[in-house]
Amino acid sequence: MKKYFISTMVALIAFPAMLLASVPTGYYNAAQNKTGEALLTALYNIIKNHTKLSYSKVLSFMQTKDLDANNHIIDMYSTAVYGPDDNGSSATDVGEGWNREHSMPNSWFGGSSSHKAYTDLFHLYPTDIRVNGQRSSFPFGECANGTRLTNGNIVAKGKLGTSTYSGYTGTVFEPDDEYKGDFARSYFYLATCYNDEISSWKNYNQASTMLNGNSYPVFTNWALQMLLEWHRKDPVSQKEIARNEAIYSSEYQGNRNPYIDYPELVEYVWGNMVGTNWTPGGSVNPNNPVLNLPEDGSIINMGSTTPGNRLTATVDVEGVGLLQPLTVTISGTGFSAYPQTISAADAITGTNIYVTFNSGTIGTYTGTLTVSSSEVSATVTLKATVNGSTITAPVATDATNVTGTSFTANWGAVTGAQTYTLYVNKKGYVPPAEYTLLLDEDMSSGTTWTAYGKTYQDEGYFRLGTSSGTGYVISPSVNLTSSNGVTTVKVTGRYFGSDSGTQMKVSVIDGNENELDSETFTLTATDAVYTAVLTGAASPTNRIKIENTINKKRVQLKGVKVYAGDASAATLKAVSESGDENTRTITGITATSYNVQNLTQDGTYEYKVKAIGANAQSDWSNLIEVTLADAQQWQLGDVNRDGLVNVSDVTYLINMILNIVPMDKEAADINSDNAVNVSDVTALINIILGLNN
């Protein structure tokens, strides 16, 4: 779970007034100064007597109340765009219509349409027919890999798979993150409103997967812990508030969901505040700071990689009642973490730590992540594996065949090497950089950038925005001093699901998040690279911001490259040798030597080599220095300074005389008469023919 979830605990003490303004005066008086089971019983007595609706009344409610700003049905199970009249009873694929979903399957409480829970709007929602059928009567849960139904650009908001949540291993349906809190509060409502009978529901269908057969705490341990997490991390939305008010009206049920009105009640009934009496708007966790996430003693396996390739992991941080900032420390070879400090406010709201692992050596690695303050502490064990075969660095040896413009680099063979890469550079020469790669962020499995608003990981992408809000990411600082503020940002991504017309804004901002320059792109349905050349500040404090700007127009990011300078036209050359007479990189060499030509005359060069294997590469070898032959060492007649005297020198000499190539009088004056003309050509031909003694 990622940063898009926000803790509801301490943050909800001072929740915006709109969350509390509509609570009827005195409605919850009977629940005050109670905790745990007694509080649950008091809430039950407050909300139990409500009007039972007809199923057609439920449909009418959804067609008029469960609508977005464009009068489309708010479908919690798919990205399809439905009108109120697109209701149906059957479908063979996603996007063919919506129907009424019992978030707690009606078979769990007996299935009778006469039961008040059968038409209780606090757990009935409009959902895609096909996805509703896929969910069936399976419990809600979490699954690392599951089946997500699709139909073209229409995608299910949820997946069916095997539970990966500790404590349960059966089949579960995992809704998308933006609605997990909604469903959790529905279940807490049902446990309250039907508390007098819910102990018997365990005997129906699959109800025992989540219900433990008593009136308190109602839920099995794994289910309760998961629902608490969902409630804490996905706060009450304006959608839930409006729905709560509509259901409370005399036209419908006339009761309320306490956990929408006062979300902290969940903690006093089931969570960290059991044992402390509740008062509306009171402190959620006085004098008892708690670090809920990361879980102390937990283990994060970051997976496996090959030498030199990075692994990333996102660790959720969430606390209650914290007063002190948290310090983040990490140990273990190859592991690093960002940020190093988290404010108490950020931890209470919910934030992330981004962990990176990188090593060039094969093996199994263990690290320790510690999040602590004087109040709380949690230690997490990190694991990572580097696979492949170890390759040692080659040993470079002295150059041979040294001429005025070339030499042969040599090195010893390395076991496991498939090819070698040779780097040659003129001693003291610094290649000019038109652009420099500053950041290369793979977002397919997480991100080290800081995320804000509605963002989360989404099966190979990092998604910005949900149907209820926007989101954005901000990079670490980038230094644009050398490029006079110019930066190139290349973003690989697409729009989410059926969100055609989605726009993505790419900006360069200063250290105070003031926008300096930006460009906006309209995304396509498939991955594409969007390139923005922007002008920031000629300083080290620039940052890059990428955002979606409109609710329900969601961006999926796969990767971002940030350059100093204009790299808009730059592409990698698929050649084995690149560079010029001063610096050279040669890849794909299969032998243990290579003849480097067309270098600067009389120059001194250095070279090094590395071995490339199937899944690994070595470090660079030792450095070898080569001084090219000077003019005095060259043989008379070697006009082109290639170490040989042949017909190519005749051609080169004629080109000098004709001013086609630059004149080198010392090499061209073959007969030493202090002039370069046709007589020198004759003298050169005589040398080649052996007629000049």
Between strands 158-162 and 146-147, the pairing is antiparallel
- Spatial distance between the Cα atoms of 521 and 502, rounded to a whole number of angstroms: 8
Give per-residue pLDDT as tens, 517-572: 999 998 988 888 898 989 899 889 999 999 998 877 889 999 999 988 877 754 33
Judging by beta carbons within 10 Å of its beta carbon (0-12, 13-18, 19+), is residue 508 exposed, middle or buried? buried
Q: What is the 3-state secondary structure (H, E, C) of 402-455?
A: CCCCCEEEEECCCCCCCEEEEEEEECCCCCCCCCEEEEEEECCCCCCCEEEECE
Asked if 33 contacts 344 with a C-beta cutoff of 8 angstroms, the reply is no
* Per-residue confidence (pLDDT) for residue 571, from 0 to 100: 36
Query: Which pLDDT tens digit goes with each residue over 295-308?
Result: 888 889 888 887 77
Topology of the domain comprising 634-689: Type 1 dockerin domain (1.10.1330)
Angstrom distance (rounded) from CA 54 to CA 70: 27
Q: How far is C-alpha 27 from the chain's CA centre?
A: 44
Dihedral over alpha carbons 428, 431, 436, 442 (to 10 degrees): -80
Under 8 Å between Cβ of 338 and 313: no
Q: Shortest CA distance to 27 belongs to which of 285, 198, 260, 237?
A: 260
The pLDDT value recorded for residue 403 is 76
Backbone angles phi, psi at 591, to 5 degrees: -90, 180
Q: What is the structure's pLDDT at 391?
A: 81
- Spans of the chain below 50 pLDDT: 1-21, 285-287, 570-575, 631-632
At 621, the amino acid letter reads S
The whole-number pLDDT of residue 576 equals 56
pLDDT for the residue numbered 19: 41
Domains 291-386 and 396-433+572-627 share a fold: yes
Domains in the chain: boundaries: 10-15+27-288, 291-386, 396-433+572-627, 436-564, 634-689
Q: What is the pLDDT of residue 140?
A: 97
Sequence letter at residue 15: F
Cβ-Cβ contacts under 8 Å for 428 (sequence gap 6 or more): none
Handedness of CA 532, 538, 544, 548 (dihedral sign): negative
Distance of alpha carbon 602 from alpha carbon 195, whole angstroms: 92
In CATH, which superfamily holds the domain spanning 436-564? Galactose-binding domain-like (2.60.120.260)
CATH topology of domain 396-433+572-627: Immunoglobulin-like (2.60.40)
- Specify the CATH class of 291-386 in words: mainly beta
Residue type, 540: P
The dihedral formed by the CA atoms of 454, 154, 84 and 5, expressed in degrees to the nearest 10: -20
Structure confidence at residue 389 (pLDDT): 64
Sign of CA dihedral 258, 259, 265, 270: positive
What is the b/e burial string over 321-337, where b = at least 16 CB atoms within 10 angstroms of the residue's CB? bbeeebebebebebbeb
